[in-house]
Amino acid sequence: MTVEHQPCPEPMLFPNGGWDVHHHIFEPAKFAYAPDRHLTPPPATVEQFLAFKNKIGITNSVLTHGLSYGSDCTSLKTFVRELGESGTRGIGVIDPETTTPEELQEMHARGIRGIRVNLYQYQAMHDVERQKQALRAHIRAIKPQCPGWSIAFTHVHPEFWGELKPIIEEEMGSSSLHLVTDHFALLKAASMLPAEYEGDITRQPGFTEIMDLVRSGLLYVKLSAPYRVSHEAPRYADVKPLVRAYVDANPRQILWGSDWPHTPHMKVRTREEALTETPYLVIDDAEWLKSLRSWVSAEEWQAIMVSNPTKLYNW
């Protein structure tokens, strides 16, 4: 299946280069998906991503291991090399109970600079107690071996952050690790908020706790995949208050990712659904980027697109 690309923005959006900190590669003909996967994506190849990267004008990227590959990072290490290790970092997936220190060191040598927590593995997408267990297990697995690495932790229940916050403060406060969440922490823009919030994004569950974590420097947030939090494609005008809330809380903790090739929304699928190839969403990345650029200052844009990701991923 061909991945569709939309027209891309003017080069002036990235006068100093830029980082896409969240994208995937799927090449099932070269690397078979895990049999217990939660999603079967069509091919989205290294060649296709490089074409997207060149058109959009970014210079660096962070390849996020697709959960369809399970905790086997063989494909990730190959894709990072093919993308060019000097311009691409990787985020892997591990089994914290079985991954050895030697394996972590080898991952670092291959350009990997963090992990993502696979909540599907723990049957924890809708269970906050299991999320606590998964987060603690991953922190403790990499904390002694991988100072400076990031941990990507994303789930569909912003209201859980109230219970997760004390654990994050306890585990991450004295750590050199960095906690990152994808897709606006899945806080919703007005067009996706239930009527009882009357379009006031600050009243939704989890908003206060998430902003507190960003403000304190304990949580990085990716401004990625606005289609997961807003119905107002392609410019996502109602996302502006969310963007400004995050940037105003702490501009040093904000990142941008494309979420290419735009996988469908996170959900728990039946076995049949998981094994059936699911098409990608068709997203106008150019229009979204133009909106985002118009909502921030030149200094904030430089931080989001260059300074923050360079500090987090390129050490």
pLDDT value at residue 12:
77
**Per-residue pLDDT tens over the stretch 13-67:** 999 999 999 999 999 999 999 999 999 999 999 999 999 999 999 999 999 999 9
Q: Note whether 14 and 57 are within 8 A (CB).
A: yes
Taking residues 253-261, report their average pLDDT. 98
Helix (H) or strand (E) holding 52: helix 46-56
Q: Where are the beta strands (DSSP E) in 148-274?
A: 150-152, 178-181, 219-224, 254-257
Q: Which residues are CB-neighbours of 283 under 8 A, at least 6 positions away?
A: 6, 227, 233, 234, 259, 262
Question: What single-letter amino acid sits at 117?
Answer: V
Q: Are 204 and 158 in contact (CB under 8 A)?
A: yes
Task: Say which residue the tokens 């998981």 belong to.
Answer: 274
**What tokens appear for 124 in the block?**
């924890």
- Residues 19-313: name the CATH superfamily: Metal-dependent hydrolases (3.20.20.140)
Give per-residue pLDDT as tens, 150-208.
Answer: 999 999 999 999 999 999 999 988 789 999 999 999 999 999 999 999 879 999 999 99
- For residue 5, what pLDDT is reported? 42
Query: Which residue is associated with the tokens 């289609």?
Result: 227
Is the pLDDT at 280 greater than 80? The verdict is: yes
Residue 101 Cα to chain centre, angstroms: 25
Residue 160 or residue 314, greater confidence: 160
Whose tokens are 């991450």? That residue is 172
Note if the pTM is more than 0.75: yes
pLDDT tops 80 at residue 100: yes
Query: Rounded CA gap, 198 and 91, in Å?
Result: 37
| Segment 55-86, tens digit of pLDDT | 999 999 999 999 999 999 999 999 999 998 77
Point out which residues pair with 255 in neighbouring strands: 222
The encoded tokens of residue 247 equal 């940037």
| Ranges of H-type helices in 187-277 | 207-215, 240-249, 271-275
Q: Which residues are bridge partners to 150 per DSSP?
A: 114, 178
7: pLDDT strictly greater than 90: no
> Quick one: average pLDDT of 215-221?
98
Give, as one character, the DSSP assignment of residue 156.
Answer: S
Q: How far is CA 158 from CA 12, 155, 171, 187, 217, in A?
A: 35, 7, 19, 6, 18
- Name the helix (H) or strand (E) containing 107: helix 101-109
The rounded mean pLDDT for the chain is 93
* CA-wise closest residue to 219 among 206, 232, 210: 210
> Which residues touch 196 (CB under 8 Å, ≥6 apart)?
none
Give yes or no for residue 4 having a pLDDT over 50.
no
Q: Identify the residue whose tokens are 């106008």.
A: 284
Burial class from Cβ neighbours inside 10 Å (0-12, 13-18, 19+) for residue 80 reads buried
| pLDDT at 8 exceeding the cut of 50 | no
Amino acid in position 296: V
Q: CB count, 10 Å around CB of 143?
A: 17
Sorted by sequence, the CB contacts under 8 Å of residue 70 that are 6+ apart come out as 33, 34, 36, 37, 93, 118
CA angle 98, 147, 206 (to 5 degrees): 85
Q: What percent of the chain has pLDDT over 70?
A: 96
- pLDDT tops 80 at residue 9: no
